Structure 1
Amino acid sequence: MSQPQSRPIQLHYWPTPNGWKISIMLEECGLPYEVIPVNIGRGEQFKPEFLALSPNNKMPAILDPEGPGGAPISVFESGAILQYLGRKTGLFYPADERGRVEVEQWLFWQMAGLGPMAGQAHHFRIYAPEKIPYAIERYTKEVHRLYGVMDRRLADRPFLAGDYSIADIACIGWAKLWERQGQDIKEFPHVAGWLERVLARPAVKRGLALNAEDRAKIDFATDAQAQSVLFGQRPAG
């Protein structure tokens, strides 16, 4: 980043594994930001003003008043936001093509694999009103396979792409919830070591702590309104 950011980035956020990606990245980069809570348990992700930023009605999203060329820009999808902030600051996202490809492989691995599969494991193990053994076993086993992939990757390097990067930032919020996914971290000693290294970073601690009190306000396992919004409601329009 050639000049310091003078106006804060708007972070539309709720404390979830995907929201944590961006709160951690903003803390790691030292960028000024303001939080605009999006209470996903009460349907705030369907408000027109949020849909203007995130047409997929998913948070997080950002609005950077000092985007490319000095003009405002909004970005949705957590992986795209990480890439944007990495390019903007020159941090945690290499400029050289080989280094960038190395990071992107593991970023997209999280976006297409670890996040969706862990999310389904959470759903069927914890939130689903009907416990379906096949679904629980299916997603628990797939998450187990993905942790095995990560464990092998981390056997000879401290972080997923060698150096700490947006790939690690993308994964940490999901991986720290391994117990909810039915995993035994002792089976994955290299992942366990990686978790310890990443979670010890001060910026990661701050990012994970952001609006932590909101996470306790709604029990998605028992709150009927939240379940209707997240698991059954369709946006109007």
Structure 2
Amino acid sequence: MIEEDIYDVTIIGGGPAGMYAAFYAGMRDMKVKIIEGKDQLGGFLHTYAEKTIWDVGGLPPMKCSKLIEWLVQQANTFNPTVVLNCKVERFTRLDNGIWSMYTTGGKIHYTRTIIVAVGRGIAEIQKLELQEQMECEYENLHYTVQNPEHFSGKRVLISGGGNSAVDWAIELAQLARSVVVIHRNNEFRAMERNVSEMNNITDVRTPYSITQLHNNGKRIQQVEITHMKKSGQCGVGSG
């Protein structure tokens, strides 16, 4: 270990918190390294990169991809070292007070300070769970929206009750032939103004959950939803 290999601060996680920490540490004239497990900075924000973000202080509503771009640009202001596709497995403190961080691939990183900014960790999408096991991933079953134009003119069913489901319902209602939103509870966990708008422009059904998918090959043709209290079932067509 030589002095040039030692960083003042090493940040585990390249999401919004990690990137801002890198920027601020650079303001304090520190030598900074970011270690990120994925192949790009941005963290969980990439899950909904094409969704409009409304609630960032000091910024107008914008696409999340633009927010990621600005955060990355800010983080790189003072030229931190960025290590991608790398996970920290363990770290120990040496007798001289320096931390040695052991990462995948067997490499050792040395630092005086560690900031853990992992947030939700490496995001894993929560997939649809049905009583009957799905034999394959259907072509028209989506867990994230990468290209909103893909849904233009189609019949869309959204299952969920948080901000992501509500915001996508509003955005896709401008493109799709129709949008049905189902949620297992009567109350939505989203911004009240957006819930009101969603109720005005989409077909909202509560409390319902998806209980069965009827397919035609690798495409879903119809979705069976069940009332959570009455156990009544009805079908919703798929676009």
TM-score category (smaller protein): under 0.3
Q: Normalising by structure 2, report the TM-score.
A: 0.28
Tell me which protein shows more strand as a share of its residues.
2
Tell me which protein shows more helix as a share of its residues.
1
Which structure has more RCO (C-alpha within 8 Å, separation ≥ 6)?
1
